[in-house]
Structure 1
Amino acid sequence: MKRIRRRVNKQTAIDFAVYLLVRTLFAVIQTLSVQRMQPVCNGLAYLVSDVLQLRRRIIDTNLRIASPNASDQQINETRRQMWAHLVMMACEIAWSRRRLHLSNWRQMLDFPTSGIFLRPFLEGRPMVLVSGHYGNFEIGGYATGLFGIPTMTVARPLDNRFLHRYITQFRGMHGQMLVDKEGSADIIQQHLESNGTLSLVADQFAGARGCWVNFFGKPTSCHKALALFTLANDAPMAVFYSRRTTGPMQFEIGCNGVADPREAGPELGGVTELTCWYNERLEKAIALSPEQYWWMHRRWRDVPEKIQRRMDRMAAKQAA
């Protein structure tokens, strides 16, 4: 028992030290200008990508799936730009609390598809916002709350409870509520029944029992629940993204389409059809700025033989 207690105390001390380091780095970043951080981000990206080669094999494999005709030079450049984007993303999260407000959001955010995106909200209906690990999705969630649209986000808690509490506070500043993905079904259902908005990251591998569809031309597994939330609750699904445009702290908040159960389009024929639909639209969003996607995730894994045969039959049927 004493050994277990010492181990727990040691891990708590490590977690708190990491939390203090992150808070210190954020405090330093908040004092610096965009111009000073840009070369720092580029330098760190080169270090991680070319010197340490962190997750290089996975990143390069994923990039070749998405861009089979890309040259080695293009793959290397995209990988380097992806790491620079991730470092800058952390900086933007640190800056947003002090620099992005209702009084100045027009200087940093462009919302070209606001009419498509806002209609279901104005109708007072539940809604499912689907995004991916693309652009600065944390700014996207921050911005929707800033506009008076509170959302519920489903995510696994961080192992470091101090960092988890800090990030939860950041997300909750303007009404974004975070719930644990384990055992949250009843909470989500009540939220949708009260015409709430659900915000979900849709590009996470769902295992062998998920819904298998093509993503950039190769099968991957998606969680069935995303489509079911829309189909079972008369809740329009919007593919939502927040990508950096002309530079740091400059974003396009975009909507790549809305699937409305009341319009009964072909994408609403079932779970597979709707899952295909939102993955296709995520692809189109990522194609706008591929260097802003998280290519280090293992999005594609081995396809079970039974699933592969079924998908081959479906492809042959569509081609006939």
Structure 2
Amino acid sequence: MKSKFIEKIEFFFVKLFFNIFSRLSFNATRKFCRTFFVFIFNILKKEKNFAFKNLEIIFKEISKKEKKKIYNKFSKIYGELFACQLKFPSFNKEFLTNCFISEGYENISKILQQKKGCIVATGHLGNWELFGNSAELRGFSLNAIYRPLDNHLIDRYLNEFRTKYGMKLISKFASPVSYIRVLMRNEVLCIVADQNTIKNYIFIPFFGKIAAASRGFSYLHLKTGAPVVFAYSLVSEDFKYYSYITEEVRFDILYNNMQVEEKYFLDCFYNVFNIDIERSEYLKKLEEFKLMYDINDGFKIKDIETYQRSIKLFESSFFNYNDLDENYKIFVITYVFHKFLESIIKKSPENWLLVHPRFRKQPSGIPSPYV
């Protein structure tokens, strides 16, 4: 816990920083921040190593030249987003309403007619403050779950202009009852659900690796019946903002329409990494899984003959989404969301938070890819 004196010193410099940039135009601030973060991210070795490793995971065959190119684009976009933070106090309603070239707001309108609220699951793609306020000004009552800053003075200061047009913020440390009340009021609850997590997590396959993921929005969806959409925002190479919102995601239909091979893989994965069992039994199942799938090469099948026999046995006990228990459904929902993210990140990797050690948390017996 920081002392109040340290918090006040930090707050003083943050306000000073904002006041300095308030004298510059938005375009001048954007250009400065892009240049600054290209410089900063090239001297921060730890963050650069995380980003390069993440790019190797996303794109199995990628040259060093291509990694540098994507990382440079990412640095500029990060600078663009930081510039938006600095200039946010000066943004007016007209700018926030029209800053995005948007698709899919009608999907939320349609869902809210069901009177169950709407869960918007998103990842670290683009600018959630701009996206949230833009949605609010378009007539949606939006509530975003966020992590409060350790410095309460800075957190309160930033939230004053983050919320000045109606967007509401709910701490990620708040009671789940707070989230449920939002949905009961038939409002929109926005959850960023793609970070590495060390509490209340499950393991899922992501880009051919094992990753820890929050159970949060999946659990809320099952408990409340609130429909879910996926959303993301992007910054283009010419620094224009785009936002996209999908239609309602029907997890039951998506699961039931999966090929038997995908269902079998998910079943094997779930029963090894997400079942609470004795360590000796876990290690036995882990070895069996590693004999079938190559965990170091995108879960490629290693033993074709055994795999084909196992698939036939699995088909005889084929099950549908409604046959799954709650924990299995949470796993499936979280997997479907991350599979969606994969498709977006592969197309626009520079918009994802590349410097985040997404794959750090691993099951027992499996080393972190960052080691």
TM-superposed CA distance for 1:161, in Å, is: 0.8
2:334 maps to which of 275, 292, 295: 275
> CA 1:266–1:175 in structure 2 vs 1: closer, same or farther (change >3 Å)?
same
2:218 maps to which of 224, 227, 244: 227
> CA 1:180–1:241 in structure 2 vs 1: closer, same or farther (change >3 Å)?
same
* Equivalent residue letter for 2:137: L
Q: Contact 1:256/1:285 (CA < 8 Å) preserved in 2?
A: no
TM-superposed CA distance for 1:21, in Å, is: 2.1
Q: Contact 2:119/2:226 (CA < 8 Å) preserved in 1?
A: yes
* Equivalent residue letter for 2:57: I
Partner of 2:138: 147
1:112 maps to which of 87, 103, 107: 103
Deviations 1:92-122 (Å, cap 9, x if unpaired)? Answer: 1333443341x45565221122333432134
The reply to whether residue 74 of structure 1 matches residue 66 of structure 2 is yes
- Output the CA distance in 1 between the equivalents of 2:153 and 2:19: 16
> CA 1:109–1:170 in structure 2 vs 1: closer, same or farther (change >3 Å)?
same
> CA 1:296–1:161 in structure 2 vs 1: closer, same or farther (change >3 Å)?
same
The reply to whether residue 132 of structure 1 matches residue 123 of structure 2 is yes
| Structure ID, larger Rg | 2
The reply to whether residue 207 of structure 1 matches residue 195 of structure 2 is no
Q: Contact 1:204/1:299 (CA < 8 Å) preserved in 2?
A: yes
Partner of 1:316: none
TM-score by length of 1: 0.82
TM-superposed CA distance for 1:235, in Å, is: 0.9
- Output the CA distance in 1 between the equivalents of 2:92 and 2:59: 35
Deviations 1:50-109 (Å, cap 9, x if unpaired)? Answer: 2343522222111211122221011122222222222221211333443341x4556522
TM-superposed CA distance for 1:285, in Å, is: 2.6
- Output the CA distance in 2 between the equivalents of 1:39 and 1:206: 34
Local SS of the residue matching 2:85: helix
Q: Contact 2:100/2:242 (CA < 8 Å) preserved in 1?
A: yes
Q: Contact 1:41/1:87 (CA < 8 Å) preserved in 2?
A: yes
Identify which range, 134-143 or 252-261, moves more after superposition.
252-261
Deviations 1:216-246 (Å, cap 9, x if unpaired)? Answer: 2212111112112112212111111121236
Q: Contact 1:151/1:197 (CA < 8 Å) preserved in 2?
A: yes
Partner of 1:312: none
Deviations 1:21-48 (Å, cap 9, x if unpaired)? Answer: 2223223333323442344234312321
Q: Contact 1:211/1:272 (CA < 8 Å) preserved in 2?
A: yes
RMSD across aligned positions (CA): 2.7
Q: Kindly report which structure 2 residues correspond to 1:256-271, keeping only aligned pairs within 5 A, or say none.
A: 256-260=246-250, 264-267=252-255, 269=321, 270-271=329-330
Q: Contact 2:107/2:246 (CA < 8 Å) preserved in 1?
A: no
Local SS of the residue matching 2:233: strand
Aligned residue pairs total 296
Structure 2 stretches of 5 or more lacking a match? 257-320, 322-328
* Equivalent residue letter for 1:297: H
TM-score by length of 2: 0.71
- Output the CA distance in 2 between the equivalents of 1:166 and 1:29: 16
Deviations 1:183-221 (Å, cap 9, x if unpaired)? Answer: 411222222222222111101223375221122221211
> CA 1:267–1:110 in structure 2 vs 1: closer, same or farther (change >3 Å)?
farther
Partner of 1:160: 151
Partner of 1:292: 351
> CA 1:302–1:12 in structure 2 vs 1: closer, same or farther (change >3 Å)?
closer
Identical aligned residues as a percent: 20
Partner of 1:251: 241
